[in-house]
Amino acid sequence: MKYCTACGHSIANDAKFCRECGEKQIIKEIVEPENVQETETVQQTETVQQTETVQQTETVQQTAEATNIPRSARKRIPPLYIFLFLLGFIGPLYMISSTIVYLFFGTLFKFASSVYVVLTVVMSIVSLTTFIAIILMMLKRKKGLQLYFISQIIYVIVAIFLSVSLYQEKGGSELANAIIILLIIPAIIFLIIFRMKKFQEYLH
């Protein structure tokens, strides 16, 4: 119940006019917030979108920073590896060229033994695969390291067999010693170096 603002008689709360004096009454309408939930949903959606936009912007900036790394800071080939690669190039090229010379003059003057011809041909083929493996390793391909190991193991086995055969011949000890010093020992050293963990990390 409430009272008329003009005459003071009691009237209903929702009455718009007084039934005694007919005076119009002021009614305060309470508007319930119907769109509160919708407003909260919109605000949450906007917050999520802003968060995603910020994350995408940060990702783009990080990518741009990674792309714009100066060349001096990028990973280069260490000088020691360059030296080893150069030696790896020279060894196979020398072996291939000496095999060609040996086969040419050995066939021409008929002093080349069939066993030695086969062994030198095998060593030259292995030297060629070693040459390819060195190129792949310079390109940081792990397959190049695998090919190098296989080639050099075959190379060392054939060189040992060749040196042992020369030791059994008269006057062949000097050549056998040269094969051990110039071919077998450097090949084993290279296998140990390229097997090291630090070099394998370089290929990643």
Domain locations in the chain as residue ranges: 1-30, 36-71, 78-202
Residue tagged 């690669």 (tokens): 85
Q: For residues 164 and 76, give the distance between their C-alpha atoms in angstroms, rounded to a whole number.
A: 42
CB atoms near residue 128 (< 10 Å)? 15
Q: For residues 54 and 68, give the distance between their C-alpha atoms in angstroms, rounded to a whole number.
A: 21
Q: What is the pLDDT of residue 150?
A: 92
Q: For residues 84 and 134, give the distance between their C-alpha atoms in angstroms, rounded to a whole number.
A: 9
Cβ–Cβ < 8 Å for 17, 2:
no
- The strand pairing partners of 11, in sequence order, are 2
Q: What is the pLDDT of residue 73?
A: 42
Q: For residues 185 and 179, give the distance between their C-alpha atoms in angstroms, rounded to a whole number.
A: 9
pLDDT string in tens for the chain (204-residue length)? 677 777 777 777 777 777 777 777 766 655 555 555 555 665 666 665 666 665 666 665 665 555 554 544 445 667 777 777 787 778 778 777 877 887 777 666 666 667 777 877 888 888 889 889 888 888 888 888 889 999 989 989 988 988 888 888 877 788 788 888 888 898 898 888 888 887 777 776
Lookup: tokens for 184: 């077998």
Cβ–Cβ < 8 Å for 88, 191:
no
Q: What is the pLDDT of residue 44?
A: 66
Q: For residues 44 and 38, give the distance between their C-alpha atoms in angstroms, rounded to a whole number.
A: 10
Q: Are strands 2-3 and 10-11 parallel, antiparallel or unpaired?
A: antiparallel
